[in-house]
Amino acid sequence: MKFLFIVLMMASFAAHAQLKNESEVSTVRTSGNTKVQTYLFKTLSKYEVEKSTYTFGGHYTYGENRGELSARDWDVNLKYEHTLTDRLSYYLGEIVEGYRFQGVKARYNSDAGLKYFFIKSDPKNFFSELGYRYTIEDRYDLATSYENKARAFLEWNHKTSETFQYRLWAEYVPNFTIDNDYLLTYEGSATSIINSVFSLKVSYKTIRRNVPVSDEFKKEDNIFTTSLVAKF
């Protein structure tokens, strides 16, 4: 899977793909396993070549409390999407992520599935993704798990005016390897557009893991974020 994406990214550069980038810097107030003020950097780049789209992105969150590490999570993600019809496409994805205060040293997710647009217009977009996920999870307690999962994703985007838009999304990942385990993530965000480059964004995100790595960790984390966003 990783080799496939290296080849695909090289092909995109060779084809002189159109580059788009969105990056944001945030202050974050969290509750749950992490209760501190911290900083977040997030970026996403997109390359489009005819019917194919290549995306590369990631985020990094870091915080200290009285000189001690109190927050650290990160991810790096790659995704390839190919359009089959005006509303239907398929995708392949690879996500590597870590959550220090959930007990996850590194989690490797390999995805494959379909994407379908219910609404596809300039001011409004509503789509779903449905697919399979294979996960290898390395934990700080030195255990490693190999898991088969499904993935269901819904997203709604609406640009209500030239200066305001909002986004709602939810992702449900049931685990077929570990009984009663699932990952549910959902987020709502609103963006006020300052000019063609800069925007202000607020968001609230919840991550719930029904079976934590151990009993010392809570099932749910809630994250409130304010961000300065730059688009190029």
- Checking 159-167 for CB contacts under 8 A at 24+ apart, the result is 159/122, 159/123, 159/124, 160/123, 162/193, 163/192, 163/193, 164/190, 164/191, 164/192, 164/193, 165/190, 165/191, 165/193, 166/190, 166/191, 167/191
**CA proximity to 99, closest of 160, 145, 34:** 34
pLDDT of residue 16: 45
H helices present in the chain, as ranges? 2-14
Amino acid of residue 103: G
Q: Are 17 and 52 in contact (CB under 8 A)?
A: no
- DSSP 8-state symbol, 176: S
The β-bridge partners of 130 are 114, 152
**For 90-122, how does the pLDDT look when each residue is reduced to its tens digit (9 = 90+)?**
999 999 999 998 999 999 999 999 999 999 998
Please give the pLDDT value at position 30: 66
pLDDT of residue 199: 96
pLDDT digits (tens, 9 = 90+) for 18-70: 788 999 998 766 667 766 677 889 999 999 999 999 999 999 998 877 777 87
pLDDT in tens, 160-197: 999 999 999 999 999 999 999 999 999 999 999 999 89
Residue 227, CA distances (Å) to 35, 77, 105, 130, 189 in order? 19, 20, 26, 29, 10
Residue 14 has pLDDT above 60, yes or no: no
